[in-house]
Amino acid sequence: MAPEKNPLEIYKLLPRTNCGQCYLPSCLAFAAAVVSGSRKPGDCPYLPANAVPQALRPKSDREPYTMMREEHLAGLQEQAAAIELAPGASRLGARMAGEKLAVTCLGKDFFIDPRGRVTSECHTHCGLTIPLLSYVLCSKGDDNTGRWVPFRELQGGAAMSPLFGQRGEKRLQRLADRNPELFDDLVTIFSGVEEKNMFSADISVVLRPLPKVPVLICYWKPEDDLASKLNIFFDSTADRHLLIESIFELTVGMVMMFEKIAQRHQ
């Protein structure tokens, strides 16, 4: 059996000032979070990402798929570090907080520093940070049209639409069927806005996972012999802000997050 990883070994590498820039209460709490996998070494501005020995990292960090995503994230961080953040704030619907770019996602603030690192009071993970950095780098800044379209009508969406239906819409539909309070949570926890008379749905909620990439979730309740139905729509400008792969990852990542919250409630 492998020896248990000790957070104190990472704690020794930290500045031990409890500065709070990682959005945790202390350096010891950050060390424990790195061992558990909920924080990355690079989330501490004073700890180089390669400073933590590989043996102290969670096993999942060494799996090929995770490594591939982290390499993708590292590439995006490098690109973000090479640009000026302030000139793009207005284009992105974001603002500057000191030297950091503050982007509101699902009602929560996420901060991108000049080195391309993403921090927040919320848990950050590749499923959010990759689309967020892609948004910063790729968004054309177009204003929303208010015209809602399905995933398949976005540029490049037709080929991925069946997979999006299975991993996004069908999963969220099953979750809504089992958890009638889901849409209340979307409004109260994630700053969603309930809309009326959208595609004749029983419930419609608009979320903003990124400032200029709103998502409309429409749910039709089961009735008589008819099963329930759920569809996810995007503003027609979504593909002007993100590549279709990032739109897919962002939406599926949201659904996975909603599932975890529902599990905690149960």
- Indicate the SS3 state at residue 208: strand
Using CB atoms within 10 Å of the CB of residue 205, give its burial: 0 to 12 exposed, 13 to 18 middle, 19+ buried.
Answer: buried
Written as six digits, the tokens of 232 are: 């996810």
**What's the Rg (C-alpha) of the chain?**
20
CB atoms within 10 A of CB 59: 10
Residue pair 186/209 in contact by the 8 Å Cβ criterion: no
Contacts of 258 (CB under 8 A, 6+ apart): 172, 175, 182, 185, 186
Distance CA 78, CA 220 (A): 43
Written as six digits, the tokens of 116 are: 């391309």
Whole-prediction pTM: 0.75
The gap from C-alpha 245 to its chain's centroid, in whole angstroms, comes to 14
Distance CA 251, CA 107 (A): 16
pLDDT tens-place values along the chain, 266 residues long? 344 467 788 888 888 888 777 767 788 888 888 877 777 787 787 876 566 666 555 554 445 556 677 788 889 999 999 999 999 999 999 999 999 999 999 999 999 999 999 998 877 777 788 999 999 999 999 999 999 999 999 999 999 999 999 999 999 999 999 998 899 989 999 999 999 989 999 999 999 999 999 999 999 999 988 999 999 999 999 999 999 999 998 999 899 888 888 876 65
* Residue labelled with tokens 């004749």: 200
Q: Domains in the chain, ordered, with CATH?
A: 1-61 (1.10.15.40), 63-138 (no CATH), 148-265 (3.30.310)
Distance CA 188, CA 107 (A): 10
Distance CA 100, CA 19 (A): 16
